[in-house]
Amino acid sequence: MKKLMVIFMLLSNLVLSAQENILEEILKNGNEKITNVYKNYDKYEIQIIYTKIDRDQNNNPTFTKYKFNVDPKFYYYPASTVKFPAAVLALEKINELDIEGLTKDTPFKTDSLFEGQVGITTNEKAENGLPSIAQCIKEILLVSDNEAYNRLYEFLGQKTLNEKLHKKGYKDVRLNHRLSVALSEEQNRNTNPFVFYNGDQIIYEQPAQRNSEDYNFDLENQIKGKGYLDWNDNLVNEPFDFSKKNYISLENLHDILTAVMFPYAVEEKSRFNLTKSDYDFLYKYMSMKPKESKYPSYHYYDSYVKFFMFGDSKEEMPDYIRIYNKVGTAYGFLIDNAYIADFENNIEFILSAVIHVNENQIYNDGIYEYDKVGYPFLSELGKAVYDYELKRERKVNPDLSRFKIDYTN
C-alpha cells in the first residue's frame, strides 16, 4: 500500500496545468515594477518558475509547475545559489562516510598544499571558535558567506560536487570554482586536505583531491557584454567570457529545493541521503532571520537574503511568513530560489527567478541596477504570487507544521 501511495504521488506531481499559464497572467497584470520588466524580458533575461502546491486529505502534495521564459541552455551566472546544493551534499557526504564520531558539528582543519589554497584552523564566529560543516552551512544560509562555501567546495571536491548532482538527475550543472578568490581553472581543480578531530583524537582524514574531468556545456550567451574590470581593476574592452564560470539551470535549482522541502514527493533517485535531523537543520537556517542567530551573530536587516516579497525594504518581516531560500547576487544577476510559507493564512508555494541588470554592459565594475530594477522586481513578483495564493480556493488547507521552527535555541 505504501509503494502504491508513493507511485500515486509521483504521478500526481507530473501534472501540468491545461489551463492558461497563471504565472504569465500574474506578470501581465502586475504593477509597474513588474510589467516594465515583463515587457522587456529579453533585455533583462528573466526566467521564472512558480510551483503551485495542493494537498490531499492526507496532506500529500501535488505540484503544478508554471514557467516563464525558462531555457536551460541560456546562460546566467548563478552566483551564491550554488551554495545551497553544496550545503545539502556536504550533509549527505557525512552520512555516507558513516564514521563513528563524524558529524556536521565535528571540528575540522584544512591544510594548504597548492598555490592559492588557504589553510583553516579556527573560526571566530563559531561558539567554540572552531570550523565545522554545520558552522559553514549556517553562515551560508544566514548571510551567504563566500569563505564558508569555499570550505564546503573543498570538503566535497570538484568531482563529487558535480557528479553527485548529475547522478541525481540534475544534469544542467557546472560548479567548477570557489567564490571571490582569484584562482585559475587548474587551481580550482585542486582541493585541500581535511582533518576532522575531537580533541587529540583524529576522527577522519581526507587527502587533497584533484579533478581531471571537464564540465563543458554548449550554452547560449556565455560571452556577454562589451567589457569588464580584471582582478587589478583594469578595464578590458572585450566581452566577458563566462564559459568557465559556474552554472546551474534555474529548473535544476528549483527542483533541488523541491526535493529538500518535499523529499518523499519526488523520484527516489532525485532525493538526498539526509536524516530528519539534517532536514530540521536546513529548514531552520534557510528560514532564520540573521538577527535570530547567536553563533554566528549578525545584525543585518531581516530581508538581507530574502529577495521575494521583502527584498526592496529593510523593515521587519512578519513572523508568520517564513522564506526557506538561497539567493545569489553577482555580475548584475539577481536570483532567488524559495519555498514560502504563511502560517497564519495556510499558504505555501515555490518560486524561483533570475533577472540580469547591467545597463552599461561592463562586468565587475559594481555598477548594476539592483536597487532601481532588480530588487523591486523580485520583491513585487513575490508579492504578486503571494496575493494570487491568498485569493485562490483550496479543497484542503495544508498542514504546515513540518516547517514550523523554534528559533530560540
What the chain holds in terms of domains, given with CATH numbers, is 2-403 (3.40.710.10)
C-alpha cell at 297: 551573530
The per-residue DSSP string of 276-336 comes to: HHHHHHHHHHHH--GGG-TTTT----TTTT--TTTTT--SPPPTTEEEEEEEEEETTEEEE
Residue 16 has pLDDT above 80, yes or no: no
Task: Yes or no: say if 306 and 325 are a contact pair by the CB < 8 Å rule.
Answer: yes
Record the pTM: 0.94
Q: What is the pLDDT of residue 102?
A: 98
Task: Yes or no: say if 35 and 27 are a contact pair by the CB < 8 Å rule.
Answer: yes
C-alpha cell at 201: 583524537
How far is the C-alpha of 287 from the C-alpha of 325, rounded, in Å?
7
How far is the C-alpha of 38 from the C-alpha of 330, rounded, in Å?
21
227-273: per-residue pLDDT in tens?
999 999 999 999 999 999 999 999 999 999 999 999 999 999 999 99
The continuous run of DSSP H or E covering 249 comes out as: none
> Regarding predicted confidence, which is higher, 363 or 8?
363
161 — pLDDT class (breaks 50, 70, 90): very high
By percentage, how much of the chain surpasses pLDDT 70?
Answer: 95
Q: What is the pLDDT of residue 6?
A: 45
Q: What is the pLDDT of residue 409?
A: 78
Report the alpha-carbon angle 163-353-343, nearest 5. Answer: 100
Residue that has been written with the C-alpha cell 530560489 in this structure: 337
Q: What is the pLDDT of residue 216?
A: 86
C-alpha cell at 170: 540534475
96-155: per-residue pLDDT in tens?
999 999 999 999 999 999 888 999 999 999 999 999 999 999 999 999 999 999 999 999
The continuous run of DSSP H or E covering 338 comes out as: strand 333-342
289-327: per-residue pLDDT in tens?
999 999 999 999 999 999 999 999 999 999 999 999 999
